[in-house]
Chain A
């Protein structure tokens, strides 16, 4: 593995200016690759709108879902009311009970991994951890994860790129049916009971919340877990440093999120002709907020291609920025922190056996931020 596999593919573009003029789905897209430009655009939802269902993720997602995602594809002022409905659920990962459940879950998975001769991290570790972890967030029985584990890394497309989004929509729809008939304390029941501006949510809206909970929290978390395991396998000194100083687990989690930037970029829609740092964007066209490029901007991050576990301040935008910042961030942070903690506690060495990287190949860049497979050998800690 090269020294920095997440090497910055936007370096040259950023040196030329804040905008990389690129294209997706046959249309021009003005991609912001400069930290300040990205953050500034996040704060201007009038000019750079999220009210464009299926088009905030780039490439567009009409072929894989039929519902607008909430509160992701909504602008102010409605956004705040939609977000408030689920915000309390997404804050639960900061409570002691939740933290304990996550510790138990990761403890079991790491012990199991360390007890084997070798383990394929993506399928046998990251997908189970992501799926079982999500039962905590959605407040479902852990056995439900058995269904999700079979879905693979992406819930929307199989390995050959064919859409399977309708299966997931049918599944979440059945969960709302169940919740309506027999409400409990889970995420789906919460939505069936919720009120938006004095009325119940429509089924389509409920489906939109469920859709992003499964899709937005899937490959992002799986890739983050795999990347963290690969990193510590390659850098045993990192785990030693965290064993010595557990505070590094917190700052290290942020730094590894910056470094991995699991979501490369997301779109915004320009309702009218807009001048974007000198690039003319036509009405109804897109700009892109490139989180990964912003996170390697040397004007903000000294030696951006180096992992510094104690980097502080570390104003990375891996979880976005502004009103749409990631609702799942508290859960994702807890997952990664707990993973690092348990790897420190329960393993004595992690050895990389082999791996097959996934490439994100686009018109103007290629990025490697995930794995098809990642085989490692973990040795249990000596008692």
Chain B
């Protein structure tokens, strides 16, 4: 279990206290605005785009090459961008903060 925070487009913070597993599933289960997760988490739909807060980048890690290819043409992509279905939350990520990108 870990705490994670989503900062949505409107600037609001949403703290999830008991997060575990795919960050996309966590967002969808908690109705986080801007994360749809249409493809179920296999990296086809890019409706789960987040930007990881700089201080968490080292722990979460950068997008792999293929994930970068997917993100390349999305709106609001930067070096901190990830598809959150590709991020697994465990105790190591306790306290994680991500910004939800605008849906393309």
Contact = CB atoms under 8 A, between A and B. Distances in A.
A311 B42 CA distance: 8
B50 interface: no
A254 B66 contact: no
Contacts of A311: 42
A51 to B, nearest CB: 19
Interface stretch (A35-43, A99-107, A148-156): A35-43
Interface in A311-333: 311-316, 319, 321-323, 325, 329-330, 333
B83 A313 contact: yes
Contact of A43 (B41, B44, B73): B73
B43 A314 contact: yes
Q: Of A40, A333, A337, which is in contact with the most chain B CB atoms at under 10 Å from its CB?
A: A333
B69 A300 contact: yes
Contact of A329 (B38, B46, B104): B38
A326 B65 CA distance: 25
Contacts of B45: 319, 325, 329
Contacts of A300: 66, 69
B61 interface: no
Interface in B50-91: 66-67, 69-70, 72-73, 83, 86
Main secondary structure of the interface of B (DSSP, over half): loop
B26 to A, nearest CB: 16
A311 B104 CA distance: 24
Contacts of A40: 73
B1 interface: no
B42 A250 contact: yes
Interface in B16-30: none
B73 A322 contact: yes
Nearest to A316: B44
Nearest to A330: B38
A315 B38 contact: no
A322 B40 contact: no
A33 B27 CA distance: 35
A251 interface: yes
Contacts of B40: 250-251, 253-254, 333, 337
Contacts of B46: 315
Nearest to B66: A313
A102 to B, nearest CB: 15
Interface string A276-307: 00000000000000000000000010000000
B96 to A, nearest CB: 21
Contact of A315 (B41, B70, B104): B70
Given A313-B67, A315-B44, A315-B66, A254 B39 contact: yes
Contacts of A337: 40
A315 B66 CA distance: 8
B92 to A, nearest CB: 21
Nearest to B71: A315
Nearest to B64: A313
A35 B44 CA distance: 13
A137 to B, nearest CB: 15
A331 B79 CA distance: 33
Contacts of B44: 254, 258, 313-316
A262 B70 CA distance: 21
A35 B70 CA distance: 10
Contacts of B39: 250, 254, 314, 333
Contacts of A315: 43-44, 46, 66, 69-70
B33 to A, nearest CB: 13
A42 B73 contact: yes
Interface of B: 36, 38-46, 66-67, 69-70, 72-73, 83, 86, 104
Interface of A: 35-36, 39-40, 42-43, 94, 250-251, 253-254, 258, 300, 311-316, 319, 321-323, 325, 329-330, 333, 337
- Of all A-B residue pairs in the complex, the 10 with the closest CB atoms, nearest first, are A313-B43, A250-B40, A315-B70, A314-B42, A43-B73, A251-B42, A312-B42, A254-B42, A39-B73, A254-B44
